[in-house]
Structure 1
Amino acid sequence: MRKKEIEIEGITIQLHRKNIKNMYLRVLPPQGEVVISAPYLLPYEEIINFVKYRKEWILKKQELILNNNIQGPLKYKTCEKHYLWGAEYELQLVSKDELKKIHVDYNENIIYLPVPKRSKKETREKLLNELYRSELKKAIPPVLKKCSAIVGKTPSEVKVRNMKNWGNCRYQDKRITLNLKLAKKDPICLEYVMIHELCHLIEFNHGKNFKKLMDKFCPNWKKIKKILNE
């Protein structure tokens, strides 16, 4: 593959020449970088004409990304932004020789992540998830006590897992499971999810009766749900 930075119609483009048959265009978060992958032998004039034709779309896509602070896929690298209890933190990778366990600097909003040399993204992600797991487990007891008093129900157990949905409730054995990534969100989101799952101990589905329970026990639940899913 050959890489080259070019400018067409005032747009900076990363041109990647590859052994492919067709030309592809991508506008990438977080900065709206424009990347074109094109066949080795495709004439430069065709690339220029392609950019001219798609110029309006490119500009709109860049505006959308920048105005909505859309982030690209997480790589778990130094200076990358991550969240803990709704606050933004900068990730700093350090050698395991310098630091034995994850350290959170709450004053400077930095998460120091000790990693081995040449660590893989999956390894760094797993380590950060362990921080979220630990934080969530510490936060659960007082929130559970508060929410159980509100709803009038207590689960048999509350577990923490890395999963797709924010929480679930096994009605049969009254066990609640929470997503460890709730530790990324504003603490009010944990209360909302806890009340949501406790309400399932009364009403298992999401029908009208369930929504009435949510309105009763968490009147602003719709607003919090929106915050949670942002």
Structure 2
Amino acid sequence: MKKETKTIENITITIERKNIKNMYMRILPPNGEVKVSAPLFLSDNEINNFIKSKKDWILKKQKYIQENNIKAPLKYDNGEKHNVWGKEYELCLIKNDSVKHVLIDEEKSMIYLPVPKRSTIEKRKKILDEFYRQEMKKAIPPVLDKCTKIVGRTPSEVKIRKMKNWGNCRYHDKRITLNLNLAKKDPICLEYVMIHELCHLIEFNHGKKFKKLMDKFCPNWKEIKKRLNE
């Protein structure tokens, strides 16, 4: 594989020549880096013309990535940044059979992630997700106790899973489900989501009555919601 970087039409391009049949282009977050995979037999002129023909599309894609703060896919590798309860930590992989659990060094702001010698991204992700799950399990009981006293309602069960919403409430059986990723956010966000879902045990929809309940039980809920979704 041959790799080179060149500037075409004021756009910096990384070109990788491979034993492939077709040419491919990727615009990568977070900085809109342009990567082109090209067959070994293609001439420089053919590659240049291809990139020039895609200039408008490249600029449009780069603008979208920057304006929407699109982040690069996580690789769960050394030096990568991950949050725990609203604080940023640097990930450090440790290949040590005697270490079985994720370790946090508050002073150095490090997360030590024990991994097998030949770990995949999916395996490392699974290990870190399990750490977040345990963090949620520890955090929920005191938050639930506090919030049920505020709202005056108690769920039948509180579950944890990965989901698109931060939480949901099944009104008919009083079951609340919380997003695993709340363990990455400021602890006040967990309280806000818990109060939000408990209020659904009183008012199922998000109408005026529901918002009045939120104003009553969590006066700064709009500010917390904004912080949660940042």
**Structure 2 counterparts to residues 86-97 of structure 1, below 5 A:** 86-97=86-97
Change over 3 Å in CA distance of 1:68–1:169 after alignment to 2: closer
Bigger shift: 201-210 or 99-108?
201-210
> Which residue matches 2:127?
127
> Which residue matches 1:113?
113
> Which residue matches 2:5?
6
What is the TM-score normalised by the length of structure 1?
Answer: 0.86
- Deviation of residue 172 (structure 1)? 2.1
Instruction: Tell me the distance in 2 between the aligned counterparts of 1:66 and 1:169.
Output: 35
Instruction: Tell me the distance in 1 between the aligned counterparts of 2:63 and 2:163.
Output: 32
- Deviation of residue 165 (structure 1)? 2.3
SS of corresponding position for 2:118: coil
- Deviation of residue 54 (structure 1)? 4.6
- Deviation of residue 113 (structure 1)? 0.8
Q: State the Cα deviation string for residues 162-182 of structure 1 (Å, max 9, x = none).
A: 333221212222121211210
SS of corresponding position for 1:92: strand
Moved over 6 A (4+): none
Bigger shift: 140-149 or 187-196?
140-149
Instruction: Tell me the distance in 2 between the aligned counterparts of 1:173 and 1:6.
Output: 59
Change over 3 Å in CA distance of 1:91–1:134 after alignment to 2: same
Instruction: Tell me the distance in 1 between the aligned counterparts of 2:148 and 2:200.
Output: 12
SS of corresponding position for 1:224: helix
**Structure 2 counterparts to residues 1-230 of structure 1, below 5 A:** 2-9=1-8, 11-18=11-18, 19-21=20-22, 23-52=23-52, 54-55=54-55, 58=58, 62=62, 65=65, 70-230=70-230
- Deviation of residue 20 (structure 1)? 3.6
Alignment length (residue pairs): 228
Instruction: Give me the identity figure in percent.
Output: 68
What is the TM-score normalised by the length of structure 2?
Answer: 0.86
- Deviation of residue 147 (structure 1)? 1.6
- Deviation of residue 119 (structure 1)? 1.1
Bigger shift: 121-130 or 9-18?
9-18
SS of corresponding position for 1:15: strand
Instruction: Tell me the distance in 1 between the aligned counterparts of 2:31 and 2:88.
Output: 18
Instruction: Tell me the distance in 1 between the aligned counterparts of 2:162 and 2:59.
Output: 37
Paired amino acid for 1:5: E
User: Does the 8 Å CA contact 1:8/1:51 hold for their aligned counterparts?
Assistant: no
- Deviation of residue 126 (structure 1)? 1.2
SS of corresponding position for 1:139: helix
Instruction: Tell me the distance in 2 between the aligned counterparts of 1:31 and 1:100.
Output: 36
Bigger shift: 205-214 or 152-161?
205-214
- Structure 1: which 5+ runs fail to align? none
